[in-house]
A and B are shown apart, each in its own frame.
Chain A
Amino acid sequence: MYDRVVSNWTIFRIALEERLVYRADFAMGTLMRFLPIITQIFLWQAIFLSQARDQLAGYRYKDFVAYYLLTMIARAFSSMPGLASGIVEQVRNGEIKKFLIQPIDLLSFLLLGRIAHKCTYYAIAILPFGLVFFLCRDYFMDGFPDGLTFCAFLCSLIMGFMIGFFLEAAIGMIGFWLLEVSSLLFIYMLFNFFLSGHMFPLDMLKDVQLWGDWSCFDLVKLLPLQYLAYFPAAVFLKKVEGLELITGLCIEAGWLVFFIIFARCTFRMGVRRYSGFGG
């Protein structure tokens, strides 16, 4: 156990060092994350101005801004740029071999690398994040949540990170079957963008009826993608409370376990059919 902790710490430390090698890329990547949200805020501002209404699907303009700021945090946790495509590339060029011959677990290794990646990001981004939240404090019209809700918010963020990781890792494992998955990744990103709540608050879909009493929102809630952005934001904004919050966190934990097992199984199956490409 102690050996494993020391191993993991070494992997984490080295990944952290590697992340800091390319300073310019790191700084740009950190700061550019704020750009998309600005465009979305302007978009909703324009929508509200053209509608001349105070509320849209229960959201005031300031609620939208607060929601987007929170999904920005959630996405900063759950997004895994380059993870799936990186695994596919490693399968294709043969670099994955080292994980098969060395006493090291690929998924743990990648997870530690990703944690290091996120830690470095937050260490730098906490200042601009803090500044933006301070400047936008008035947009949180119902105030900041109590301690318990905030803990639930943190839990949902951490589980969102893990779901994002194992989900994308499982997609990356498709590389053992298909050597080119860029189209598949594009489709996934598209679904992710809409169904995670990154584009708009998912509860806006409550009014879109599918059949019977079932709305579009009920359907989207069955998917795991909502935990990547919408759910943490909804927890913070107290749109999910009490029993619904506990149930939501339990389902999120269930999805997490499912994706851990799924990613491990696909890796195991993939390795079994691996042909050792790339020399």
Chain B
Amino acid sequence: MSIIEIENLTKAYRVYRKKEGLAASVRGLFRRNYHDVMAVQGIDLNVEQGEFVAFLGPNGAGKTTTLKLLSGVINPTAGTARVMGHVPWKRENAYRRRFALVMGQKNQLWWDLPALESFRLHEQIYRIPPDQFRKGLDELVDLLELDGLLEQPVRELSLGERMKMELTAALLHSPEVLFLDEPTIGLDVIAQHNIQQFLKFYQEQRKITILLTSHYMKDVAALCRRLVIIAHGKIMYDGSLAGIIDRFSGHKVVTLQFAEDRMPDNLDTYGTVLETVAPKAQLRIPRNVVAQQLATMLAKYPVEDVSVEDPPLEEVIAEVFSQANRAAGAEMAEGPSCTTAS
């Protein structure tokens, strides 16, 4: 049985729509136009115990709404979801003691007090036995290199340090399911890398189930084997990281280095030229003709070095998003009953 089971999960918001201008504002005092925003539209998803799943999607796609539904912050409009056998929006303490939600943009610690005080509170409200608390805290302090920071007021910590404290607070009660909503947002490259390394190690060691939303492809590539792409409230893709490139990218990026600075001037006959800086050229070639075009070029020109790569993940994801936008645009043109955005 899956640890997370989602069936036809739907969340609609009623949103006030106001036209531009003072006259519209005055009219709005007497009569308001509302419309339904479908943040999540009939999602079906199963996650097995120990999986590390990335939720990707453009802003307003429904990623955070899905996490809010699964963590019981909001109630759905329709559909069902069970996490470890619990219905999240019943908000039973038995469930709340088994999961954690970390939001990159939200502080859950006591702002004016040292993080240790918040950890003490978690020890009590999550009913963590004292020896387990001490051991867990020591381990997390060691892994996240927080030594010397526990007695410092949270407001005086850097963003990276604060995120580490948030993670510590979230993990002290050893949750079986962890929801991470953009945990590396706003962090510098080193802090991002540290958090990634920590999450990777912790998940591998504990085999907990993690659902991560992030806009940073490096987070996703470093951590998750399974990728769920959500756009306009619907799941566009659910599969492996490698699979998405196979499915959504119809081309490869071929880089050639020509001998003796002899750059052919008709490269565009083999594919789309992305860049030429003698003696190197980069071409985008449809996947089905890569072998043929490459063989032709190797036969005709003196090539010193060649590499054939998949396009960058960011590019593929952007392509998926634009496909989703086009599909949503077509749906709207057919006559929308509601708007899709958030």
| Given A94-B106, A102-B96, A279-B64, A274-B112 contact (CB < 8 Å) | no
Number of A-B contacts (CB under 8 A): 75
| Given A100-B73, A103-B97, A279-B105, A14-B121 contact (CB < 8 Å) | yes
| Given A6-B124, A100-B91, A104-B125, A279-B103 contact (CB < 8 Å) | yes
Does B96 contact A95, Cβ atoms closer than 8 Å? no
Complex interface: chain B residues within 8 A of A11 (CB): 121, 124
Q: What's the least CB distance linking B71 to chain A, in Å?
A: 5
Does B93 contact A275, Cβ atoms closer than 8 Å? no
Task: Determine the residue in chain A with the shortest Cβ distance to B95.
Answer: A103
Q: Bound state CA distance, A33 and B90, in angstroms?
A: 43
Most buried by B among A18, A94, A275: A275
Complex interface: chain A residues within 8 A of B96 (CB): 101-103
Does B112 contact A18, Cβ atoms closer than 8 Å? yes
Complex interface: chain A residues within 8 A of B121 (CB): 10-11, 14
Question: Does B54 sit within 8 A of A, measured CB to CB?
Answer: no
Does B73 contact A274, Cβ atoms closer than 8 Å? yes
Question: Does B272 sit within 8 A of A, measured CB to CB?
Answer: no
Task: Determine the residue in chain A with the shortest Cβ distance to B105.
Answer: A279
Complex interface: chain A residues within 8 A of B113 (CB): 14, 17-18, 21
Does A14 contact B73, Cβ atoms closer than 8 Å? no
| Interface size range of chain A in the complex | 20 to 34
Question: Does A53 sit within 8 A of B, measured CB to CB?
Answer: no
Q: Bound state CA distance, A101 and B148, in angstroms?
A: 29
Task: Determine the residue in chain B with the shortest Cβ distance to A96.
Answer: B73
Q: What's the least CB distance linking A111 to chain B, in Å?
A: 15
| Given A3-B127, A279-B64, A10-B120 contact (CB < 8 Å) | yes
Question: Does A276 sit within 8 A of B, measured CB to CB?
Answer: yes
Question: Does B6 sit within 8 A of A, measured CB to CB?
Answer: no
Complex interface: chain A residues within 8 A of B279 (CB): none
Question: Does A221 sit within 8 A of B, measured CB to CB?
Answer: no
Chain B residues numbered 41-74 whose CB sits less than 8 Å from any CB in chain A: 64-65, 68, 71-74
Question: Does A247 sit within 8 A of B, measured CB to CB?
Answer: no
Complex interface: chain B residues within 8 A of A275 (CB): 13, 74
| Given A21-B112, A100-B91, A101-B73, A10-B124 contact (CB < 8 Å) | yes
Does A100 contact B75, Cβ atoms closer than 8 Å? no
Complex interface: chain B residues within 8 A of A21 (CB): 112-113, 153
Complex interface: chain A residues within 8 A of B105 (CB): 279
Per-residue interface assignment for chain B, residues 68 to 105, with 1 indicating a CB less than 8 Å from any chain A CB and 0 otherwise: 10011111000000000000000101001101110101
Q: Do most interface residues of chain A lie in helix, strand or loop, or is the interface mixed?
A: helix
Complex interface: chain A residues within 8 A of B103 (CB): 97, 279
Complex interface: chain A residues within 8 A of B124 (CB): 3, 6-7, 10-11
Does A101 contact B125, Cβ atoms closer than 8 Å? no
Does A101 contact B112, Cβ atoms closer than 8 Å? no
Q: Bound state CA distance, A127 and B178, in angstroms?
A: 50
Q: What's the least CB distance linking B35 to chain A, in Å?
A: 14
Does B117 contact A7, Cβ atoms closer than 8 Å? no
Question: Does B110 sit within 8 A of A, measured CB to CB?
Answer: yes
Q: Bound state CA distance, A17 and B154, in angstroms?
A: 14
Complex interface: chain A residues within 8 A of B270 (CB): none
Complex interface: chain B residues within 8 A of A94 (CB): 106
Q: Bound state CA distance, A216 and B9, in angstroms?
A: 56
Q: Bound state CA distance, A10 and B64, in angstroms?
A: 32
A: residues with CB less than 8 A from B are 3, 6-7, 10-11, 14, 17-18, 21-22, 94-95, 97-98, 100-104, 271-276, 278-279
Identify 27 residue pairs between A and B in the complex whose beta-carbon atoms are under 8 Å apart, listed by A's number.
A3-B124, A7-B124, A10-B124, A11-B121, A14-B113, A14-B120, A18-B110, A95-B106, A97-B101, A97-B103, A98-B106, A98-B108, A100-B71, A100-B91, A101-B73, A101-B96, A101-B99, A102-B96, A102-B108, A103-B96, A103-B125, A103-B126, A272-B75, A274-B73, A276-B64, A276-B65, A278-B106
B: residues with CB less than 8 A from A are 13, 64-65, 68, 71-75, 91, 93, 96-97, 99-101, 103, 105-106, 108, 110, 112-113, 117-118, 120-127, 153
Contacts A98-B108, A100-B73 aside, 6 further interface pairs with beta carbons under 8 A come to: A17-B117, A22-B112, A101-B99, A103-B93, A273-B75, A276-B74
